[in-house]
Amino acid sequence: MMMFLTYAAFFVLGSICVGLQYWVSKTRKHPSVGNNPAFIKFQTGYFAAYFLALTADWLQGPYLYKLYSHYGFEEDQIAVLYVCGFASTVLLGTWAPIAADWFGRQKLCIFFTVIYSLACFLKLSRSYGVLIIGRVLGGISTSLLFSAFEAWYVHEHIETHDFPKEWIPVTFAKATVWNGILAIGAGVIANMSAEWLRLGPVSPFMLAIPCLIASGVVVMTQWTENYGTKQIKFRKSCFEGLRTIVTSRKIFLIGAIQSLFESVIYIFVFIWTPVLDPSSRNGSHFSHPSLGITFSSFMVCIMIGSALFQILISRGISACSILGLAAITALISNILCIVSTHPDKVNRNLSFIAFLLMEIAVGMYFQAMTIVREKILPEVHRSSIMNWFRVPLNLIACVTLMLLHDENFRHGNRLIFVVSTLLMSLAVWSVFSFIKLIKNDEELKCQSSEINPGVTLV
């Protein structure tokens, strides 16, 4: 039953997603850049390397937990491995943009492909210590993937090629759409290698290595080096960012929303496999879902959420209202998970449906939060503020996983959803507190219309 539900959901949701994306494409307006061959050539060179790197990253998503359980590790041991990855991401994520500016963004992108390939290769080991090293390298790689590549592109776009700044969102909008498509395809390919061809849960990680090597070759041969033009005083930047958060209630609430919502996402990244596939943790003979197809269904739902955001925005719904809708949807999802994971009456089908609902909320959330941050956070301190936001985010996720994953505690997974529900309830409260705070802020409304015409914040 579970296997049938995952495939049926994938095809039905995929059809809905295609329809919504077509609807959105009819209403989306971009600057006219299609006839500029120099821009298209430059953009294609960036996409070639970046999309290969993204594909390698997504290939590793569906079977990470399954691989660790396949090696015989218990749930609390696997939680530690995940925490090591989360912790290295937040600790190194702070330094990644600065390192890119100092050492060169092209070099750091090449370094990314090397250490991420090594992280994948280390998945062949059954040694717990080696796997921890692999997770740390994976966390570092994730930080570089979402900082160095984008920084290289923006510098080349403006400084080297002197293209209009208005064209930058066009590239990132295309990258966002293709990111979703690549994630869906990576899930199917991972499922094919691990289950259809029966090559095992380590096979997607091995498939990621050629993608990373190819990405590195493109960066090395087609890209030119660039560096940051501004000397950043790290300590001063951190202090100014923290002071801005503490002295501005609007910014503090944005940080609270992001930390609460995204910590629940981090917890979800860990918990979805043992909930839907109990055989991953206890060797039971439940009918298990195809994890790659399940992962692709999640990615489809994120694209559905993103499309719903675009449709609602085009209908005049404010970004903050959509943010509130996303938080409420995620709250409902977690409440359903409390019901579905009752130890005396486990309902994996309901858990799956709740997870799909959660991913739709995630798709709406990221689109709405991007606009809210753009309009509220001061540009001069935005990077340091975002780094501070990541600290409680990761702390909440790590502490929750470490403290509540006691293998002897019968309600372990259910209690995690109880905690996630409390966190999401606080996120909902923070969203509506933020809306109330800025409702009569005329200066903010004026600024909002200048930054992004046609999109309202409140």
| pLDDT (0 to 100) of residue 457 | 65
Distance, CA of 197 to CA of 128 (rounded, Å): 27
Task: Give helix 128-145 / helix 105-121 axis angle, nearest 10°.
Answer: 150
| pLDDT (0 to 100) of residue 453 | 44
Confidence of residue 113 (pLDDT cuts 50, 70, 90): very high
* Per-residue pLDDT reduced to its tens digit, 114-130: 999 999 999 999 999 99
Contact 244, 74 (CB under 8 A): no
* Per-residue pLDDT reduced to its tens digit, 347-396: 999 999 999 999 999 999 999 998 888 888 887 677 777 777 878 888 88
Which of 96, 109, 95 shows the shortest CA–CA distance to 220? 109
Distance, CA of 18 to CA of 121 (rounded, Å): 36
Distance, CA of 33 to CA of 378 (rounded, Å): 29
* Average pLDDT rounded to a whole number, residues 78-103: 79
Q: Is residue 283 predicted with pLDDT exceeding 80? A: no
Q: Is residue 243 predicted with pLDDT exceeding 80? A: yes
* Per-residue pLDDT reduced to its tens digit, 6-18: 999 999 999 999 9
Contact 361, 333 (CB under 8 A): yes
Mean pLDDT over the full length of the chain:
86
* Average pLDDT rounded to a whole number, residues 186-210: 96
| pLDDT (0 to 100) of residue 446 | 38
Contact 188, 89 (CB under 8 A): no
| pLDDT (0 to 100) of residue 414 | 84
* Average pLDDT rounded to a whole number, residues 272-279: 87
CA torsion, points 256, 424, 276, 195, in degrees to nearest 10? -30
Please spell the DSSP secondary structure of 241-288, one letter per residue. Answer: HHHHHHH-HHHHHHHHHHHHHHHHHHHHHHHHHHHH-THHHH---PPP
| pLDDT (0 to 100) of residue 30 | 56
Contact 226, 155 (CB under 8 A): yes
Half-sphere exposure (Cβ direction) of 373: Cα atoms closer than 13 Å:
18
Q: Which of 107-121, 390-404, 417-431 has the lowest mean pLDDT?
A: 390-404
Half-sphere exposure (Cβ direction) of 233: Cα atoms closer than 13 Å:
4
Confidence of residue 230 (pLDDT cuts 50, 70, 90): low
Higher pLDDT, 117 or 34: 117
* Per-residue pLDDT reduced to its tens digit, 317-336: 889 999 999 999 999 999 99
* Per-residue pLDDT reduced to its tens digit, 48-85: 999 999 999 999 999 999 999 999 998 889 999 999 98
| pLDDT (0 to 100) of residue 360 | 97
* Per-residue pLDDT reduced to its tens digit, 134-185: 999 999 898 888 888 988 998 899 888 888 888 888 898 889 889 999 999 9
Q: Averaging pLDDT over each range in 155-164, 223-232, 234-243, 290-299, which range is the top one?
A: 290-299
Confidence of residue 448 (pLDDT cuts 50, 70, 90): very low
**Number of H-type helices and E-type strands within the chain:** 19, 0
Q: Is residue 96 predicted with pLDDT exceeding 90? A: no
| pLDDT (0 to 100) of residue 91 | 74
Kindly state the tokens that stand for 266.
């981090």
Contacts of 426 (CB under 8 A, 6+ apart): 256, 260
Q: Is residue 29 predicted with pLDDT exceeding 80? A: no
User: Token pair 């090597």 is at which residue?
Assistant: 213
Confidence of residue 218 (pLDDT cuts 50, 70, 90): very high
